[in-house]
Amino acid sequence: MKLRAPLSNVARAASPRREARGPDPRLMQDIPTDPELLAAARGGDAHAFRLLVERYEQAVAATVAGMLGRGDEAEDVGQEVFIQLFRSLDRYRGEAALGTYLRRIAINLSLNALKRRRRLAWRFPSRDQDREPLPEPATDPDAADAWETREHVRAAIMRLAPAHRAVVVLRMVDGCSTREAAQILQIPEGTVMSRLSRAMKELERHLTPYRRDNSSGQEGG
């Protein structure tokens, strides 16, 4: 596969970590757009494809790990999302934004993985199923609080039905708009909002025992 210098020069400028601090203005004008990277990848430019993977890794990780939890299964599905993009490079014509397109693949593959998981659970029942591997414990008390909250919220998301989980992950965790979530899930915006309202109530029910009365004074009411 070819490696083209102009795209490789801007790898750092286009990386997600760089985006978090804001792109370097000196390199902004050199950052290739998605269509440019897609065109280069179609022509066999491996580095252009890798830049696309780096650009959308966070979005796909948020969707896939949000749906499946952390672990090898999420990694496999995440890889498969980009491999499907690679296979469909010639067919993808940009009808939807690339982020929307990738999230749609990510949601569909995650839902398939959940179906497989249910079939396996039915055949081979286990007391360990649906449990995420525990992350490293935090030592700093503030960090421990944040970690606990995050883990409780993630565990509560895992208890939602797949259709509700998908809406919560896209709309609330990943920060998609209602319209974008509707496009990804291929359902009307009204359905997104009604599923989201029900899912939020369910999440509140799961999280009530863990809530701390430290921000609003709503607990007593």
- Tell me which residues touch another protein (CB under 8 A): 1, 16, 44, 46, 49-50, 53-54, 57-58, 61-62, 65-66, 70, 74-75, 78-79, 82-83, 86-87, 146, 149-150, 153-154, 157, 168, 171-175, 177-178, 193-194, 196-198, 200-201, 203-204, 207, 215-216, 218, 221
Burial class (CB in 10 A: 0-12, 13-18, 19+), 100: middle
Q: Write down the least CB distance from residue 221 to another protein, Å.
A: 6
| SS3 label, residue 45 | strand
Smallest separation, CB 194 to another protein (Å): 6
**Cα dist. 209→48, 126, 221 in Å?**
48, 26, 15
Shortest Å, Cβ 1 to another protein: 6
b/e for 133-168, b at 16 or more Cβ within 10 A?
eeeeeeeeeeeeeeeeeeeebbbbbbebeeebbbbb
Provide the 8-state DSSP code for 208: G
Token pair recorded at residue 103: 């999230």
Burial of 193 (0-12, 13-18, 19+ CB in 10 A): middle
- State the minimum distance, in angstroms, from the CB of residue 197 to another protein: 4
d(CA 165, CA 64): 11
| Min CB(218)–another protein separation in Å | 6
The nearest distance, CB 98 to another protein, in angstroms, is: 15
CB closer to another protein, 125 vs 131: 131
